[in-house]
Structure 1
Amino acid sequence: MIRYDLVCDKNHTFDSWFTDSAAYEKLSAGGLVTCPHCGSARVSKAIMAPAVKRTDRDQPALPSAPAGAPAESGPVALLSEKDRQIRAFLRAVRRHVLENAENVGDRFPEEARRMHAGETEERAIYGGASLEEVRALHEEGIEVLPLPRLPEEGN
């Protein structure tokens, strides 16, 4: 398998996988390689940096094949150690809040105001609030923090 960075005549860039360079040439000549943005069949290979495995580094090379393709054996580092530590910390913070605070849902701004005004006992809460509601709480001197959203929640 080979991946090419491609560009259409309207300068849209994208990439695509092919069995080999001959497969790309055949499909391109037949007008079957089209831009996903505008549908143009006037597509050419963009300038690419070759993926060359370095032997002078301790880190393993990133995979160059698509998901599901046979991979070389050995560990692959997709995140640096520092990134893994940060994500682990964010997961721990989120888990702590979910286990130790009360979910007040969309009532969060009102509950935070009631606690700040002394109308109800202070306790750990979390819930939903719009950006405007959060700004208003900050302007009122009420300290709130966003609950970290984990990267896998967006996938």
Structure 2
Amino acid sequence: MIVYDLACAHGCPRFEGWFRSSDDFDRQLVAGLLCCPACGSASVSKALQAPRLARKGNQLQPVSTPATTPTTSAPEKLPAAPVSGAAPVASGPLPAQAVEMLHKLATMQAEILKHSRDAGPRFAEDARAMHYGEKEAAPIHGQATIEEARELIEEGIEVMPLPFPLVAPDKAN
């Protein structure tokens, strides 16, 4: 559906019209089916209006941070993690304990990443080679498909997903 702001040629207050498409508006206008609800005039046109762009479902309004914001700052290059006392979620703000836990997880992940090598898409191959002694064992991180991760676990190779998405430095804003 398209919503247009409509204006009457006689200066009546603007009003809304809902249409299936732009063509539907044009057909109704030509057929004389549109009229001003205030004065009944058929002299109606589209009024200037700002575009109405719907917000994505995963984008929430920013929540103001309370006075009890933790003073510890997150290390550089951390994935975006909530650090305020009330981070927005679909059902409402997170409790302070949950925010603190997420901050600790993000800090821990950043520390682990500092001391590991990025194997990128070769993660499963490198992890397997280290497990079977074909390569020297070292901490690594990288990308693996769900199927690759299952196969590694079935082979007894310990792997785990990172709690927060990792953005390569060249891909970050």
TM-score (norm 2): 0.44
Structure (1/2) with the larger helix percentage: 1
Instruction: Calculate the TM-score normalised by the size of structure 1.
Output: 0.48
Larger Rg: 2
